[in-house]
Amino acid sequence: MSLPDWWTIDPNQPFTLGPRLFPGRIWTASGCFAYGLTGHDMKSANFTSPYQGLGAVVTKTVTPQPRAGNPMPRLAETPMGAINSIGLENVGFGEFLAETLPALERKGVPTVVSLAATRPDEFGDMVAMLHETAAGFTHWHGVEINLSCPNVAEGGHDFGRDPATVSACVRAARRNLPDRALLAKLTPNVTDIAELATAAAEAGVDAVSAINTVIGLEVDLETGRPVLPRRFGGYSGPAIRPIALAKVDEIVTRAGVPVVAVGGIGDFRDALKFFALGAVAVQVGTAQMRDPFAAARISRNLIRG
């Protein structure tokens, strides 16, 4: 397939998002390229590095305290994707600031830091500490707040479904992030995602990332039980692309906020569909876990000429 006549954007050219100039429009999704430190020794016949052409690496989500994650197994592949129940396993915010983020800066990785918390004030505190620590970093471009987290203070429900809480989280982060891009990653497990995007936009977000995984379950026919110990997980991969396209279209047409699209993008054709709907950038997730050069390949294949 050749590129369509309407496609004139070079994804490797810098573009402005909020207060920040990003190196390009093809990103990797949170958790799908780890923290962004593990690909520097990888080579292929066609690419000098899996970072080639990347506009940003969204880090594995970081929480205030280290998390061991959920019991194994945590990942189940399906014919059209994967269901994960990682449980936000991560090194914790303190070690991330002290070790991981400086290492990303030294290696020149264009970075968006993914943060998760259980209350709006926690987001504000984490962003304030991040900005104080990394204010002079060149390659740190922004923060993506993960709004699909349980709100412990309100009984454990997914507070990312509540526009008022989305607004409060964005406001808390925005007041401490004056010169980097702020993105809110939205859950698709709602009736009206544009309502969430509008709340985020009015609170000061520069873009929304859409979509996060959809709720899924797979059954082991030998045991008759769900394959994941926690039964449900986040479903990602090619099967959710039509859902992601519909949700992105809702946001673009109704919320008027820039969208960084994610959900089922496996090749340049998939990326083009989101760009056609008005997305300003795309994130490559499940495909990147299967092939660390997936995002680099998409970036190259979108260069006209």
CA distance readout (Å), 267 to 94, 156, 238: 36, 37, 10
Closest CA to 43 of 31, 52, 34, 32: 52
Residue 143's identity, in one-letter code, is: V
Residue 6 is assigned to a structural domain of this protein: no
Please, where are the H alpha helices in 38-99? Answer: 93-95
Catalytic residue among 149, 227, 261, 281: 149
Cβ-based neighbours of 78, under 8 Å, separated by 6 or more: 218, 235, 237, 239
Q: Would you place residue 152 in the very low, low, confident or very high pLDDT band (cuts 50, 70, 90)?
A: very low
* Residue 150 belongs to some domain of the structure: yes
| Residue 184's CATH number | 3.20.20.70
Q: With cut-offs at 50, 70 and 90, classify the pLDDT of residue 158.
A: low
Q: In 1-59, where does DSSP find H-type helix? A: none
Least confident of 35-49, 174-188, 213-227: 35-49
Range of the domain at 97: 15-301
Q: Specify if 10 maps to a domain.
A: no
- pLDDT for 161 beyond 50: yes
Range of lowest pLDDT (83-92, 107-116, 126-135): 83-92
Residues 6+ apart with CB under 8 A from 184: 144, 145, 147, 166, 169, 170, 200, 205, 208, 209
Residue 292 lies in a domain: yes
Burial of 70 (0-12, 13-18, 19+ CB in 10 A): middle
Res 45 pLDDT > 90: no
The number of domains in the chain is 1
Whether 32 sits among the annotated catalytic residues: the reply is no
Q: Flag whether 23 is in a domain.
A: yes
For position 10, what pLDDT does the model report?
94
| Distance between CA atoms of residues 129 and 86, nearest Å | 26
Q: What is the pTM of this model?
A: 0.95
pLDDT of residue 43: 85
pLDDT of residue 98 exceeding 90, the answer is yes
Residue-level length of the chain: 305
In a domain, 1, yes or no: no
Element spanning 26, H or E: strand 26-28
pLDDT at 39: 87
Q: Does 3 fall in a domain?
A: no
